[in-house]
Amino acid sequence: MAATHESHPLAFWRWQLHWQALFGIVLGVLLGYLSGSAAVGDAAGLGGRWEIKLYDLVGDLFMSGLKMLVVPLVMTAIVSAIASLGQMQGFARMGGKTLLYYVCTSFVAIMIGLTLVNAIAPGERSGLSAEEAAAAVRTEGSSEATAMAELEKKTAGRGTDSVLNVFRELVPSNVLDAMARQKMLGLITFSLLFGFFITRLQERQREIMLGFFEGAYDIMIQMTFLILRFLPLGVACLIAQTSAETFAGGNVLERLTQLGMFAVTVLAGLIMHAFVVMPLILGVLARVNPMRHLQAVAPAMLTAFSTASSAATLPLTMECAEERAGASQRVTSFVLPVGATVNMDGTALYECVAVLFLAQLSGISLDFSNQLLVVVMALLTSVGVAGIPSASLVAIVIILKAVNDNLPDGAHIPLEALAIILIFDRLLDMCRTAVNVLGDTVGTVLIARSEGEHDILAEDPGARQARLRAEAG
């Protein structure tokens, strides 16, 4: 176990961040197993157990701690990067590269999903029909019925056209509202302009403003370090809660057997994307050692896995990309917040596999035009999906509606069939969120390399981070 300082090997708070996160995950699974299995015979169920309430509280505090940092961190990082460079030149070029990378990699992820779901055909092997899957929703009080009712509320009135709403966020009509609702695109626009106009101020005012934003950014970095001290604890509590629910709900395990091939298809796709496509991009295009990069961003991936939220993970992703993976502050502060909003490779892949799986369950074989529709819709909706847990389910409903409108008369995929993957969503959500975050960091390094703003990692990422921290005092 690599420690950053000389210390007792069991002093886990000195371990490198990825080992700390991994430790938290293993501990969380263990705690969740103990609570979940104890709750099986307990009449009060999981909700009545004090330790679950504690995990819930600590997990929420950790998530809130991370989310609390997102807006001020992103804004101060962008403003101070632009104001100190003294120019906005090159941002249009960087924006173009970012979008090109995001569109291409999401497309590749969708094509991997499409190929696998057609080849494996999990819906034809599950031994379940769409009608049976939908029946659970009609059982009053079932967990599927509750989950579906919530999803219907979220998707009410949303159709294909709502997909483009994300572009409206580019210019916020109220910047405080954009901050409150963590609308990244609007905040990025505002911060870019703010930073740029600082450079146009008279010298005295400029120095004051620059000093203020650089100082504020350093404070945000220190606060990120503070929250990271709680990484193993936060991760353990989040995982304990999720795994307790899984172990306590016999229903979920039963679903696992019915949905085994679906899960295998999704996981195989995610693994191919994360461990074949991404390393190829790193090795061939960015000329960076993929293993070093994976090690550098592992804390962010593991936190994304535990929180199932790429938005909440953003402070840690920025920290890993800059201090451990060697990208510059200018590139990191622009590419990552955009990525956490619009680039979701894992989500895009999942949406495609889920829609085709539900079509297969319904005995409908989608022709070329419908599969193309799914690909295009998955690409567009993955842009609009929020970086929060289970967000892609909303997108899947939108795609299903579009496919149903395009199917010949009589053919129909029942939306309620989605219930079968609803209650089983968390584990796959954790995996796809980790892939989403990995995709963002690979894009950051690739763009930083192309801009000449990346240090090739000659040293171990953890040691580099420790050195930079020591140098910063």
Residues at the contact surface with ligand ASP, assessed by CB under 6 A: 308-310, 344, 347, 385, 387-392, 429, 432-433, 436
CB of 436 to ligand ASP, least distance (A): 4
Q: Which is nearer to ligand ASP, 152 or 218 (CB)?
A: 152
What b/e sequence results for 343-369 when a residue is b if at least 16 CB atoms lie within 10 Å of its CB, and e otherwise?
A: bbbbbbbbbbbbbbbbbbbbebebeee
192 versus 340: smaller Cβ distance to ligand ASP: 340
Question: Which CB, 39 or 336, lies closer to ligand ASP?
Answer: 336
Report how far apart, in Å, the C-alpha atoms of 457 and of each of 35, 278, 325, 420 are: 42, 17, 7, 45
Angle at alpha carbon of residue 211, lines to 205 and 215, rounded to 5°: 150
Which strand (E) or helix (H) includes residue 42? none
Least gap, CB of 421 to ligand ASP (angstroms)? 12
Sign of the CA dihedral running 342, 375, 389, 147:
positive
Minimum separation from the CB atom of position 340 to ligand ASP (A): 8
Region of 232 please: left (phi>0), alpha (psi -120 to 50) or beta.
alpha
Alpha-carbon torsion 324, 327, 328, 333, what sign?
Answer: negative
CB of 401 to ligand ASP, least distance (A): 18
Nearer to ligand ASP, 103 or 216 (CB): 103
The least distance separating ligand ASP from the CB of residue 389, rounded to whole angstroms, comes to 5
In the structure encoding, which two tokens stand for residue 218, read together?
Answer: 């350093």
Q: How far is CA 284 from the centre of its chain?
A: 25
CA distance 348 to 376: 10
Taking the complex as a whole, how short is the minimal distance between the CB of residue 198 and ligand ASP, in angstroms? Answer: 32
| Cα 184 from Cα 339, distance rounded (Å) | 10
Task: Write the DSSP symbol of residue 160.
Answer: G
Q: Please state the closest distance from residue 422 (CB atom) to ligand ASP, in A.
A: 12
CB of 109 to ligand ASP, least distance (A): 12
Residue type, 222: Q
Distance, in Å, from the CA atom of 252 to the CA atom of 428, rounded to the nearest integer, reads 13
Cβ closer to ligand ASP: 213 or 262?
262
- Burial-class residue 80 by CB neighbours within 10 Å (0-12, 13-18, 19+): buried
Nearest distance, CB of residue 319 and ligand ASP, angstroms: 18
Check: CB of residue 78 under 8 Å from CB of residue 331: no
Decide whether 309 or 332 has the Cβ nearer to ligand ASP. 309
Q: Which two tokens stand for residue 270?
A: 């995610």
Q: How far is the CB of 416 from ligand ASP (least distance, A)?
A: 20
Query: 219: which residues sit within 8 A by CB, 6+ positions away?
Result: none
Residue by residue, DSSP assigns 1-16 as --BSSS--TT-GGGB-
Q: Which is nearer to ligand ASP, 332 or 381 (CB)?
A: 381
Nearer to ligand ASP, 303 or 436 (CB): 436
What are the structure tokens assigned to 405, written together?
Answer: 């409108």
For ligand ASP, which is the closer residue by CB, 137 or 437?
A: 437
- Report, in Å, the least distance between residue 432 CB and ligand ASP: 5
Q: Which is nearer to ligand ASP, 329 or 390 (CB)?
A: 390
Q: Cβ closer to ligand ASP: 332 or 436?
A: 436
**DSSP code, position 276:** I
> Rounded to the nearest whole angstrom, what is the least distance from the CB of residue 308 to ligand ASP in the complex?
5
Q: Where are the alpha helices (DSSP H) in 281-328?
A: 290-307, 310-319
Of 234 and 389, nearer to ligand ASP (C-beta) is: 389
**Contacts for 159 with CB less than 8 Å, ≥ 6 apart:** 398, 401, 402
Count the alpha carbons within 13 Å of 403 in the hemisphere toward its beta carbon.
34
